[in-house]
Amino acid sequence: MRYVSTRGTAPVLGFDDVVLTGLAADGGLYVPEEWPVLSEREWRDMRGLSHEELAFRIMLPFVGAALTEEELADLLDAAYARFDHPAVAPLRQIGPHDWMMELFHGPTLAFKDHAMQVLGPLFELLLTRAGRRVTIVGATSGDTGSAAIEACRDREAIDIFILHPKDRVSEVQRRQMTTVQSANVHNIAVNGTFDDCQALVKSLFGDPDFREEVGLSAVNSINWARIMAQVVYYAWAGVALGAPDRGLGFSVPTGNFGNIFAGYVARQMGLPIDRLVVGSNQNDILSRFLETGTMRQETVVPTISPSMDIQVSSNFERLLFEVYGRDAAEVRSAMDRFRQSGAFDVPDDLHQELLGLFRGHRLTDEETSASMRRILETTGVLADPHTAIGIVAGQVAGRRDEGGVTVSLATAHPAKFPDAVEQATGVRPPLPARLADLFQRPERMVEAPNDTRALQAVVREGLRR
């Protein structure tokens, strides 16, 4: 499989280079040159497979000849071994036609593990084969950092440095990062905000000499392999619930459009999805876009669903590319407008076409809290704030056709956001057994000022070579 950039001027690359490159050289995002389509028979034949086996069949066309079938199968066995549920992504029925899929059984209790646990061994394999090493530097406001650390810990070819804003991530989130004792893992508490952390990371990537010196790399949400790995659980739910002989809707709490775009890819591959619902908090740039056809950036407000406190939905560019019939010039022009004025719009007919598949629904914090209470009372499910937004959005805007089902994605374990859950429901969710001693484990991190030179020194100091 070959990959092209959404902006049309970066080189066409194979799977391995796309994974190691991340962002395309023209500022765009890589997508497959064409979508692989599975026949109804191939979908039906996946019934009864284990998660690993199903993942293999979904990923194989995207990987192509870049890995041997044995390499891919071994990699997937290793990737899913660290999930603490034998189904990996268990489904739970919460209404007559409504299900939720628990995506929080990985090492860091959020859905990001599904992609990161695949990306970690994939990076290691491709780097080792190429005789290369990389230094991964990233900023986190909470969930991404711990998922990346768990995916990259103890890997020979990778050193990982994760910046978080000092005293501004929750204690569970911080400890999930800082209690990892591996020699290749470095946590940096920056005296500043999440935006400062991101700006610092950007400044490192903007320094070509430093970039070259340490072999800088990223595992951020625009990496194609993360989308590919997320397609798997849409297929998993679909096949388990009767696809291709039954229609499906999915409801997804999303900010960056990464998770829900994987649902779109599953549809392109032939899974009969006829509704994708975007669940938003007050940072509702995506829901507003679906309502109005205009993408307009506002300032970020903090909410009780912090993993969606985002105002730039990077992965949306991949959908835009499809909507414009893969016309990279149209994408470039929309992205230029967005960068210059903080807004762009799509023509009416394209907006209407999008509404044939997508819907949005937004909840305030008060509505989210009330929903968490109601969900617990009516279904017995203790939902984290992100998951609750997805469930409600699915109830309001999911499909209700005869015979179809709606699946809401539960993106985090309630114990990851214990304060918000307790405040809404009166129940404090305990950490799962394997993390029960998280608050007794020793922490390891360094502090750094909000300064590029100081950060470069910390990275040089920490490298193992």
Ligand X SMILES: *Cc1c(COP(=O)(O)O)cnc(C)c1O
Catalytic residue numbers, as ranges: 112
Tokens of 74: 């071994």
Of 221 and 303, CB closest to ligand X: 221
CA neighbor of 266 nearest in space, from 407, 402, 383, 387: 407
Residue from 220, 256, 369, 456 touching ligand X (CB under 6 A): that is 256
Residue 221 sits in the site that holds ligand X (CB under 6 A): yes
Residue 391 sits in the site that holds ligand X (CB under 6 A): no
**Contact call for residues 411 and 393 (beta carbons, < 8 A):** no
Residue 164 sits in the site that holds ligand X (CB under 6 A): no
Residue from 7, 112, 164, 175 touching ligand X (CB under 6 A): that is 112
Question: Roughly how many angstroms between the first and final C-alpha of the chain, as a whole number?
Answer: 35
Report the nearest approach of ligand X to the CB of residue 113 (Å). Answer: 10
Of 38 and 229, CB closest to ligand X: 229
Report the nearest approach of ligand X to the CB of residue 303 (Å). Answer: 12
Compute the half-sphere exposure of residue 96: CA atoms within 13 Å on the CB side of its CA.
Answer: 5
Tokens of 254: 């999303």
Residue 395 sits in the site that holds ligand X (CB under 6 A): no
Measured between alpha carbons, how far is residue 167 from residues 164, 192, 363, 412 in Å? 9, 9, 27, 21
Tokens 């007794």, residue located: 440
Report the nearest approach of ligand X to the CB of residue 259 (Å). Answer: 3
Residue from 173, 179, 259, 456 touching ligand X (CB under 6 A): that is 259
Asked if residue 244 has a cis previous peptide bond (ω within 30° of 0), the answer is yes
Task: Using CB under 6 A, count the residues that bind ligand X.
Answer: 15
Measured between alpha carbons, how far is residue 188 from residues 192, 336, 401, 446 in Å? 11, 33, 50, 5
Residue 106 sits in the site that holds ligand X (CB under 6 A): no
Tokens 């990306």, residue located: 119
Residue 159 sits in the site that holds ligand X (CB under 6 A): no
Of 127 and 319, CB closest to ligand X: 319
Report the nearest approach of ligand X to the CB of residue 305 (Å). Answer: 7
Of 290 and 412, CB closest to ligand X: 412
Residue 287 sits in the site that holds ligand X (CB under 6 A): no
Residue 309 sits in the site that holds ligand X (CB under 6 A): no
Of 143 and 330, CB closest to ligand X: 143
**Contact call for residues 301 and 271 (beta carbons, < 8 A):** no
Residue 143 sits in the site that holds ligand X (CB under 6 A): yes
CA neighbor of 253 nearest in space, from 111, 415, 382, 117: 111
Of 184 and 313, CB closest to ligand X: 313
Residue 270 sits in the site that holds ligand X (CB under 6 A): no
**The amino acid at 391:** I
**Contact call for residues 100 and 407 (beta carbons, < 8 A):** yes
Residue from 32, 145, 247, 258 touching ligand X (CB under 6 A): that is 258
Residues 58-87 that bind ligand X (CB under 6 A): none
Residue 226 sits in the site that holds ligand X (CB under 6 A): no
Residue 166 sits in the site that holds ligand X (CB under 6 A): no
**How far, in Å, CA of 448 to CA of 204, rounded?**
14
Report the nearest approach of ligand X to the CB of residue 250 (Å). Answer: 12
Residue 253 sits in the site that holds ligand X (CB under 6 A): yes
Residues 6+ apart with CB under 8 A from 59: 72, 76, 228, 229, 231, 232
Of 244 and 398, CB closest to ligand X: 398
Report the nearest approach of ligand X to the CB of residue 112 (Å). Answer: 5
Residue 411 sits in the site that holds ligand X (CB under 6 A): yes
Report the nearest approach of ligand X to the CB of residue 253 (Å). Answer: 5
**Contact call for residues 258 and 227 (beta carbons, < 8 A):** yes
**How far, in Å, CA of 270 to CA of 172, rounded?**
39
**Contact call for residues 225 and 118 (beta carbons, < 8 A):** yes
Of 10 and 286, CB closest to ligand X: 286
Residue 308 sits in the site that holds ligand X (CB under 6 A): yes
**How far, in Å, CA of 22 to CA of 28, rounded?**
10
Residue from 24, 66, 100, 110 touching ligand X (CB under 6 A): that is 110
**How far, in Å, CA of 58 to CA of 70, rounded?**
15
Residues 5-34 that bind ligand X (CB under 6 A): none
Of 395 and 411, CB closest to ligand X: 411
Residue from 227, 412, 448, 459 touching ligand X (CB under 6 A): that is 412
Question: Residues of 79-98 as b/e, b for ≥16 C-beta within 10 angstroms?
Answer: bbebbeeeebbbbeebbebb
**How far, in Å, CA of 363 to CA of 281, rounded?**
5
Residues 329-388 that bind ligand X (CB under 6 A): 386
Residue 307 sits in the site that holds ligand X (CB under 6 A): yes
Report the nearest approach of ligand X to the CB of residue 69 (Å). Answer: 29
Which residues of the shown chain bind ligand X in the complex (CB under 6 A)? Answer: 110, 112, 143, 221, 253-256, 258-259, 307-308, 386, 411-412
